[in-house]
């Protein structure tokens, strides 16, 4: 891993629910707000982003309602690309150079996923947005976040959450004595079935010693802080 810039390099995972502001589809004002926070950090950190698509389609849900799982998963992956384009648009408006790379070829819309080129973009100060998941049914964008982070040699995965600002000793909505944890190991998270990301993704992070920050989107400037390495939320590591 020849890191030329000496900068911290991170992989930010934004789930689809973040884009919709709680609804189906894309909420432009919400995406603009996130883009502006990313722009604040973009000259100090190398940033790649994996985008989810749950605000459009989740394959597992469509298949429960009668669709073929594989085709439904492709619909899910295509949904992520729309989120990528919305994020790209608002990042460019905020003065950040961006490239979208997709795991499913769609040359008019985005570059193909080419890891070395993605790294080169980051070294040039561009934010790289990864869409279309892994290009394979039965995967999740969480797993893709772990895989892309490893392949581009990111220092950390940043899991942005809405409605919760870290990992707690119990469900803070049900138990008033629940306390936020500053740190947690992957073994504890896996053992206690704490769903900060899916189990496949967590196992991949654990096996490859890749740390992760779980943080809440809600606090002012939280995305910028997480990108810059502030220990908001919960750090999960081996
Ligand atoms: N998906 C897939 N393969 C992948 C990534 C995603 O099939 O590599 C599909 C899957 O149907 C998933 C949907 O795309 O439900 C949206 O992704 P995800 O649920 O991970 O998005 P998020 O929960 O982060 O919004």
pLDDT at 2 over 60: no
Whether residue 88 contacts residue 26, with contact meaning beta carbons closer than 8 Å, is answered with: no
Q: CA-to-CA distance for 31 and 37, rounded, in angstroms?
A: 10
Cα 166 to averaged position of ligand 1 atoms, centre (Å): 22
The rounded Å distance from CA 15 to ligand 1 centre is: 9
Query: Tokens 């989107």 — which residue?
Result: 217
How far apart CA 151 and CA 217 sit, in angstroms, is: 25
- Does position 188 have pLDDT exceeding 70, yes or no? yes
Say what the pLDDT of residue 196 is. 87
ipTM score here? Answer: 0.98
- Predicted structure pTM score: 0.96
Which helix (H) or strand (E) covers residue 185, if one does? strand 183-185
What's the pLDDT score for residue 171? Answer: 86
Reported as a pLDDT band with limits 50, 70 and 90, residue 1 is: low
Determine the pLDDT at residue 148.
98
Q: How far is the CA of 185 from the centre of ligand 1 (A)?
A: 25
Q: At a CB cut-off of 8 Å and minimum separation 6, what does 216 contact? A: 160, 161, 162, 163, 164, 165, 166, 222, 232, 233
pLDDT of residue 173: 87
Over the Cα atoms of the chain, what is R_g? 17
Q: Of all atoms in ligand 1, which is nearest to the CA of residue 16?
A: 25
Tell me the per-residue pLDDT of 116-171, one tens digit each, with 9 for 90 and over. 999 999 999 999 999 999 999 999 999 999 999 999 999 999 999 988 899 999 88
As a whole number, the mean pLDDT across the chain is: 95
> How much of the chain exceeds pLDDT 70, in percent?
98
Measured from CB, residues less than 6 Å from any atom of ligand 1 are 15-17, 52-54, 58-60, 73, 76-77, 80, 133-134, 136-137, 139-142, 144
SS3 state of residue 224: helix
**Which domains does the chain possess?**
9-166+209-233 (3.40.1160.10)
Residue in 16, 23, 25, 53 to alter for ligand 1 test, most ligand atoms within 8 A of Cβ: 53
């Amino acid at each position: 891993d020849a890191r030329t810039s000496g900068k911290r390099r991170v992989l930010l995972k934004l789930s689809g629910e973040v884009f919709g502001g709680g609804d189906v589809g894309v909420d432009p004002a919400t995406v603009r707000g996130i883009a502006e926070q990313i722009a604040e950090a973009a000259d100090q950190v190398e940033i790649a982003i994996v985008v989810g698509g749950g605000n459009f389609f989740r394959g597992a849900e469509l298949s429960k309602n009668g669709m073929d799982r594989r085709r439904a998963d492709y619909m899910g992956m295509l949904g992520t690309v729309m989120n990528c384009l919305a994020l790209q648009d608002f990042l460019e408006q905020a003065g950040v150079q961006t490239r979208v790379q997709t795991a499913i070829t769609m040359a008019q819309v985005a570059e193909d996923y080419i890891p070395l080129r993605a790294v080169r973009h980051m070294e040039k100060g561009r934010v790289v947005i990864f869409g279309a998941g892994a290009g394979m049914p039965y995967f999740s964008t969480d797993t893709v976040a772990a895989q892309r982070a490893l392949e581009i040699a990111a220092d950390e995965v940043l899991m942005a959450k809405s409605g919760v600002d870290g990992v707690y000793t119990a469900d803070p909505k049900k138990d008033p004595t629940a306390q936020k944890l500053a740190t947690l190991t992957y073994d504890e998270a896996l053992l206690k079935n704490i769903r900060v990301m899916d189990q496949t993704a967590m196992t991949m992070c654990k096996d490859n010693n890749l740390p992760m920050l779980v943080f809440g989107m809600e606090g002012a400037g939280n995305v910028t802080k997480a990108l810059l390495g502030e220990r908001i939320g919960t750090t999960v590591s081996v």
